[in-house]
Amino acid sequence: MSPLESERAPDGTLKLCLRGPIGFRTAGPLRLEMIAALSGVPSGSRILLDTATAEPSDSAAAGLVLEFLRASRERGLVPSVGDLDPVTRNFLDLAGADLLRSSQPVVIPGLGLVEGAGRFVLDALRETGETIAFVGRVTLSMFWSLRHPRRVRWGEIAFLVQRSGAEALPIVALLSFLVGLTTAFSAAVQLRQFGADIFIADLVGIGMTRELGPLMAAILLTGRSGSAFAAEIGTMKISDEIDALTVMGIRPLGYLVMPRIFAVMLALPLLSLFADVCGIAGGMTIAGLSLNLTPSAFLGQLRNVVGPWDVFSGVLKSVVFGMLVAGVGCHRGMRTEGGALGVGRSTTASVVSGIFLIVLADALFVVLFHYLGLE
């Protein structure tokens, strides 16, 4: 005996009957069979579903009734529900009569590839703009704080400097040492061919102080602190804590965001100086090992080529990078919506746009310094 039978009533109505045991396990194939039975019916005809002889063990049959109604309506048929078995009737009664009168609307398909790409770019541009505006607003409130130093949470700032600066020292040391090492190693082979061994100090020294030190430190802090800020503030946002601060008359911008941005703006330049030193140490190690340059020769050359401006420009950049890293993290956090999923999205977005903004700012600095003749 098939679980789905169809027969034609004398008035031309097609009648489908579900029979026998039905449950979640068997409903899948049965559903396909039922939809197939509908496909040959000319539109406008009347069609009826009957489950009087079914023996459902759960709500699967009730689901099939809803599927029957939806699929028939989509095909332009006129469906109705006949006799129901007690289990299914109970489910549908509990759900209320409205459920049978309407069907779930058809899902609107997602954006096409081109439209999706366009939307992505526009979103990215808008968000970058918003982040910069946000950082601007925080900077303004920072000036305000500097004029009211008693209102600033210095203890909090000190704690944050320790958390995002001091605790990042080991990883910054390791990574920049390795970067210095790798840079020097790749260059050493080429330089030896020209007998230009000593220029390895120029390469590593200028490369680290101007670009790699600040960049490495900033990218690390984006992953370490920017993302942490986004997650912290985002979690506070979704559990109404930000609103609670606001209604107490405490401005979240001043209370949460400003100390974080301020702390990273302090910590990042120091970290970047530290990264310079470690990177140069890495370069010096390679110079000694593969080019037989003594440390004193290396350092002597370094003193000749690396000027105060090289170091200072790196520090200057770091201050701006720090503002961006912490700004993006906090901005994402403040804009978090939609539960735990939203916090995850904010955290990811803070890292992605953080790194994007750092690289963009770095490029702008290069152009700016070039046209100002600061080289």
Residue ranges that bind another protein, judged by CB under 8 A = 235-236, 239-241, 243-251, 255
Please report how close the Cβ of residue 239 comes to another protein at its closest, in angstroms: 6
Please report how close the Cβ of residue 151 comes to another protein at its closest, in angstroms: 9
Burial of 196 (0-12, 13-18, 19+ CB in 10 A): middle
Please report how close the Cβ of residue 155 comes to another protein at its closest, in angstroms: 12
Please report how close the Cβ of residue 347 comes to another protein at its closest, in angstroms: 17
CA-CA distance, 283 to 182, in Å (whole number)?
8
CA-CA distance, 110 to 186, in Å (whole number)?
47
Please report how close the Cβ of residue 165 comes to another protein at its closest, in angstroms: 20
Q: Which is nearer to another protein, 255 or 356 (CB)?
A: 255
Please report how close the Cβ of residue 339 comes to another protein at its closest, in angstroms: 13
Residues 6+ apart with CB under 8 A from 212: 176, 179, 180, 183, 275, 279
Contact, 237 vs 336, CB < 8 A? yes
Neighbours of 112 (CB within 10 A): 9
CA-CA distance, 50 to 61, in Å (whole number)?
11
Please report how close the Cβ of residue 79 comes to another protein at its closest, in angstroms: 23
Q: Which is nearer to another protein, 103 or 246 (CB)?
A: 246
Please report how close the Cβ of residue 143 comes to another protein at its closest, in angstroms: 15
Q: Which is nearer to another protein, 260 or 317 (CB)?
A: 260
Please report how close the Cβ of residue 250 comes to another protein at its closest, in angstroms: 5
Q: Which is nearer to another protein, 158 or 250 (CB)?
A: 250
Closest by Cα among 361, 346, 168 to 266: 168
Closest by Cα among 169, 365, 184 to 284: 184
Please report how close the Cβ of residue 140 comes to another protein at its closest, in angstroms: 12
Q: Which is nearer to another protein, 25 or 251 (CB)?
A: 251
Sheet architecture: strand order including 4-8: 4-8, 14-18, 46-50, 78-81
Contact, 295 vs 288, CB < 8 A? yes
Q: Which is nearer to another protein, 78 or 340 (CB)?
A: 340
Q: Which is nearer to another protein, 202 or 241 (CB)?
A: 241
Pairing between strand 46-50 and 14-18?
Answer: parallel
